[in-house]
Amino acid sequence: MKNLAKNFLLVFLIFLVIASLFSFSLSLPQVQVTLDITSMVDKINAGKVKSLKVINDKIFVTLANDSQAQVQKEPAESLSELLNNYAVDKEKLKQIKIEVEQDSSLDFWLAALLPFLIPFLLIAGFIYFMMRQVQGANSRALMFGQSRAREVTPQDRQNKVTFKDVAGVKEAKAELVEVVDFLKNPKKFINLGARIPKGVLLVGPPGTGKTLLARAVAGEANVQFFNISGSEFVEMFVGVGASRVRDLFRKAKRSAPCIVFIDELDAVGRQRGAGLGGSNDEREQTLNQILVEMDGFDVNTNVIVMAATNRPDILDIALLRPGRFDRRIILDAPNIEDREGILKVHARKKPLAPDVNLRRIAERTPGFTGADLNNLLNEAAILAARRDKNKVEMAEILESIEKVILGPERKSHILGEREKKITAYHEAGHALVAHKLLHTDPVQKVSIVSRGQVAGYTLKMPIEDKYFQTKSEFIDELAVLLAGYTSEKEIFGDISTGAANDLKEVTRLARRLIMEYGMSDVLGPRTFGKREELIFLGREITEQRDYSEKVAEQIDKEIAKLVDNAVKTAKAVIKEYFSKLEEIANLLLQKETLEREEFEAIFKSSPAPVS
């Protein structure tokens, strides 16, 4: 049918060409002078006309002096009728040569054919478009089973990432160098009978550079890189996931050596048999197909499957057994050296002012991941651009740190006089207790400028990276958290909703101390409750009780005791250093934000006279 439409168009085109050729060959004589009918009749009667030639509605008149003129006649009227009607002298007419010629030009043919052609063309065109639509939908439907993998070819210089672009993560890089080596030089390994890992699983919290590392491996090895996200395997239609996996691996084998990278593997790789409903069935089939494919290629196939996840705990164990994702590479949040390195990598494309000290930024960003740091420098660059600077200065970067942690400042969110006072005393309480207790991090900044969701904030930062925390630190932390609440209560004899977040955090922390960390003297070193994820709901967490009612009561008591003690500690500190509390709060009301130096100066100087 499609061919028919095409043929029809072709025929029509040929017809047009032929018709226009004809019309050119028969082009009308070019005559400038026009006459009206009466003057033509007069001229005939006067014997001044040699010949008449009729073409369509035009009469071409050749006069006695051989000059030419042209007369327009009515379309319906023939020449003889016309001459009769005007009573032309018959005698004179006999001496005139009269020719009638039918014009076979385009006009004529079109006039004859168009009434048929137009509806026919319309219908044909309509059918043609319908066919195309259907065809498009068809081929799109066929595409469903194909993998949606994005490919990065080694020739693609622009998107190329190498190990140089990945800072820190030394162990991970060392492991991956092996993979690169294998892709470049498989013979070396095979000759020794070594079995090269088929599957490499990158495990780490979001933003630690898993995706980046996988791309760097492809870049280093100079091979094709197929990138697909786990969730893309599973879409609405049952059976599609498995066929996508098949298609992906078929493509991969064809372009070996190459890397297949499945991002967010947990989307398909969750433990099987735990779900309900059809979509989970679909997921299982997809997962099974991945397992089959990974078993399918033999030692000599140069396809390495890499995958990334931040939830290794929920992966199906079949994925992790030898021969599948048996290499696991753990990526942690970067330490201070790594943070400096990452900052250096991302500072390459940004003009930095000479005052920028990346080491100091690294010091002030514990817990930041690579993605956070990237975001930080980007925010700083945006800020600098908005201030019409041509270099990013330290000030912008420091400001952006807080923006990344707490959300943007909300200067327009102006607190009323009384709210401002409450916030000032609340934050002063946090800051004072944090400063005075032994096992706390130094206060970096206190502010009563709203940011994101909070009215004010006290920013504490560890001096160095910490990998674990002790019980005394937790106990002090509880007191600091409760200091805002205590301060409000002491000063105003009332409490505000501003403390709600603190209280939530206190409860959570105290519970974990007892139930997860075994830090209770009474209940001893064990954990309580099994946490489990309801897999089919994704995020929901259920807690299974593995303890008796009686223990539950004890747990509640222990939590209450922790909180009670924390309030007592906070109260004691606030009572003892009440003048300092006032000083901090007053200074906050004046300046809104205190940096570390200003804050610490309060404790060095003798108490300022209270005005």
* Binding-site entries for Zn(2+): 426, 430, 502
For residue 502, the partner it binds in Mg ion, Zn ion, ligand ADP, none, with Cβ less than 5 to 8 A by kind, is Zn ion
Burial class (CB in 10 A: 0-12, 13-18, 19+), 298: exposed
369 binds Mg ion, rule: CB under 5 A:
no
Exactly one of 198, 210, 436, 451 binds ligand ADP (CB under 6 A); which one? 210
Structure tokens at 183: 């892709």
CA distances from 251 to 130, 149, 228 (A): 33, 10, 13
- Binding-site positions: 204-211, 426, 430, 502
Q: Which of these ranges, 31-39, 207-215, 311-319, 532-540, lies near Mg ion under the rule CB under 5 A?
A: 207-215
Please identify, using beta-carbon distances, which residue of 203 and 587 lies nearer to ligand ADP: 203
Q: Name the one range near ligand ADP by CB under 6 A: 119-127, 162-170, 245-253, 295-303.
A: 162-170
When binding is defined by CB under 6 A, the residue of 160, 168, 198, 377 that contacts ligand ADP is 168
**Which residues contribute to the annotated binding site for ATP?**
204-211
Q: Does 230 bind ligand ADP (CB under 6 A)?
A: no
- Cβ atoms < 10 Å from Cβ of 189: 15
Least separation in angstroms between residue 557's CB and ligand ADP is 42
User: Residue 488 or 558: which CB sits closer to Zn ion?
Assistant: 488
From the list 286, 334, 279, 325, the residue with the least C-alpha distance to 304 is 325
Helices 170-184 and 210-221: angle between axes, nearest 10 degrees: 30
Please state, in angstroms and rounded to a whole number, the distance separating the CA atoms of residues 394 and 379. Answer: 12
Question: How many angstroms from the chain centroid is the CA of residue 36?
Answer: 77
The token pair that represents 319 in the structure block? 């994925």
Note the Cα 298 to chain centre separation in Å. Answer: 36
Question: What gap in Å lies between CA 515 and CA 510, rounded to an integer?
Answer: 9
Backbone angles phi, psi at 169, to 5 degrees: 35, 55
Residue 207 Cβ, how far from ligand ADP at the closest point, in Å?
A: 5
Q: Are 297 and 258 in contact (CB under 8 A)?
A: no
Closer CB to Zn ion, residue 182 or residue 485? 485
**Residue 206 touches ligand ADP, criterion: CB under 6 A:** yes
Using H for helix, E for strand and C for coil, what is the string for 34-53? EECHHHHHHHHHCCCEEEEE
Catalytic residues: 427
Give the whole-angstrom CA distance, residue 326 versus residue 284: 20
166 binds, among Mg ion, ligand ADP, Zn ion, none (CB under 5 to 8 A by kind): ligand ADP
User: Closer CB to Mg ion, residue 266 or residue 284?
Assistant: 266
Minimum distance from residue 357 beta carbon to ligand ADP (Å): 19
> Shortest approach of ligand ADP to residue 366 CB, angstroms?
16
**Binders of ligand ADP: how many residues, by CB under 6 A?**
18
For the bound state, the minimum distance from the C-beta of residue 491 to Zn ion, rounded and expressed in Å, comes to 14
Contact 51, 66 (CB under 8 A): no
Choose one: 38-46, 204-212, 293-301, 392-400; the region binding Mg ion (CB under 5 A).
204-212
User: Which sign does the torsion angle of CA 393, 394, 396, 397 carry?
Assistant: positive
| 444 class by beta-carbon count within 10 Å (0-12 exposed, 13-18 middle, 19+ buried) | middle
Least separation in angstroms between CB 442 and Zn ion: 18
The answer to whether 41 contacts ligand ADP (rule: CB under 6 A) is no
Identify the residue among 70, 211, 302, 486 touching Mg ion (CB under 5 A). 211
Q: Is the peptide bond before 186 cis (omega within 30 degrees of 0)?
A: no
487 binds ligand ADP (CB under 6 A): no
Angle (CA) 106-107-112 rounded to 5° is 100
CB of 268 to ligand ADP, least distance (A): 16
Number of amino acids touching Mg ion (CB under 5 A): 1
Residue 184: both structure tokens together:
């470049």
Q: Is 212 in the site for ligand ADP (CB under 6 A)?
A: yes
Task: Out of 374, 400, 520, 569, point to the residue binding ligand ADP (CB under 6 A).
Answer: 374
The item of Mg ion, Zn ion, ligand ADP, none sharing an interface with residue 581, based on CB under 5 to 8 Å by kind, is: none
**Interaction residues for ligand ADP, span 322-361 (CB under 6 A):** 342, 345
Find out whether 606 and 581 touch, Cβ atoms under 8 Å.
no
CB of 282 vs ligand ADP, minimal distance in Å? 25
| CA nearest to 180, candidates 227, 214, 152, 149 | 214
Residue recorded with tokens 């920028």: 356
Binding window for Mg ion (CB under 5 A); candidates: 20-28, 44-52, 209-217, 548-556: 209-217
Region for residue 493 given its phi and psi (left: phi exceeds 0; alpha: psi -120 to 50; beta: otherwise): left
Stretch that binds ligand ADP, among 200-208, 460-468, 544-552, 561-569 (CB under 6 A): 200-208
Which one of Zn ion, Mg ion, ligand ADP, none interacts with residue 407, CB within 5 to 8 A by kind? none
Q: Strand, coil or helix: what is 454?
A: strand
Residue 365 lies near ligand ADP (rule: CB under 6 A): no
Which stretch, 65-73, 160-168, 273-281, 424-432, contacts ligand ADP (CB under 6 A)?
160-168
Q: How far is CA 360 from CA 192, 366, 450, 593, in A?
A: 48, 11, 25, 20
Residues at the site binding Zn ion, with contacts judged by CB under 5 A: 484, 502
Would you state the structure tokens that stand for residue 289, as one six-digit string? 């197909």
For ligand ADP, the binding residues (CB under 6 A) are 166-169, 204, 206-212, 308, 342, 345, 370-371, 374
For Mg ion, the binding residues (CB under 5 A) are 211
